Amino acid sequence: MARALNAVSAHLRGLADALASVIFPAPCRICGETLDNSSRIPICRSCLASLAPISGPQCERCGCPIASPIPLETSHAPSCHICRRGLYDFDFARSYGVYSPAMARAIILLKHHAVLPLGDWFARRIEEAAKPHPEMYAVDVIVPVPMHRARLRERGYNQADLIARPLAKRLDLPLQSCLLVRTKPRPDKLRLTVRERWRTVRGAYAMQEGARVDKLRVLLVDDVLTTGATLDACSRALRKAGAAQVVALTVARAVARTHISLVSPSLMEPDE
């Protein structure tokens, strides 16, 4: 009986989506084709399906896709060149998908156009990315990467918070949106070199006055991991304040052009 009711319900939802697409035609905000459903997310099913999870071997620490094959005698993924040099302060990081052109446009819809339902959609995706790694759940608090107050006033919201908030509910973990603050604004320059990214975030984050993280395990949440400099700077501020462990989850991971040849230079440079 329940199965029959579910089938009827699915059929009715399909009819409603088809009717909505006829009465209220709207373009997919990624490909431009007319939407075939009445979802609150203005992205067609095909484009949503293209926002696929990272597959294949990844760096065991930061989650960077590893292009070279892993020898059969190796039981675990190797470390990337950055992690072999020990540059990152955070303990562990994972991202849901590659920062492809389609993923970039989806993130921009949340980041610059306030398509708020995408916050929950992204939260569910990064929860999927965390499932194979129990250490991502063994935390005490979730902290979104903060924006500088000037940027926050300009935009009106922090996209990392819009992702972290539903994730905290799904994982039944406390959210501390004001635990960290960004003390230095991002330069006005649109695109930054790798060196500039690291230099501009060095010392740019600090604990909110009166906040305490002594011996706490912290999960940082952000939209994109580009160079890892932002997560590293946030981790250093948390460690300095006494955090016992810092792990991170992001929706997307920017990768070298050798990994994804279709990514244009402009899309490889998210603004924060």
| Concatenated DSSP letters of 41-86 | S-S-HHHHHHSPPP-S-B-TTT-PBP-SPPPTT--SPPPPHHHHTT
Structure confidence by residue, pLDDT tens digits, 159-204: 999 999 999 999 999 999 999 999 999 877 767 888 888 999 999 9
> Confidence class of residue 70 from pLDDT cuts 50, 70 and 90?
low
Tell me: the pLDDT tens digits for 16-53? 444 444 444 689 999 999 887 778 899 999 999 999 99
Residue 18 corresponds to which tokens in the numbers above?
A: 């088809």
Q: Share the mean pLDDT of the chain.
A: 84
Sign of CA dihedral 8, 13, 15, 16: positive
210: alpha, beta or left, given left = phi > 0 and alpha = psi -120 to 50? left
User: Are the C-beta atoms of 59 and 136 separated by less than 8 Å?
Assistant: no
- Strands 180-182 and 205-207 turn out to be antiparallel
How far CA 143 is from CA of 15, 116, 200, in Å, comes to: 41, 19, 21
pLDDT in tens, 2-13: 444 444 444 444
User: Which domains does the chain show, CATH number per domain?
Assistant: 1-50 (no CATH), 54-268 (3.40.50.2020)
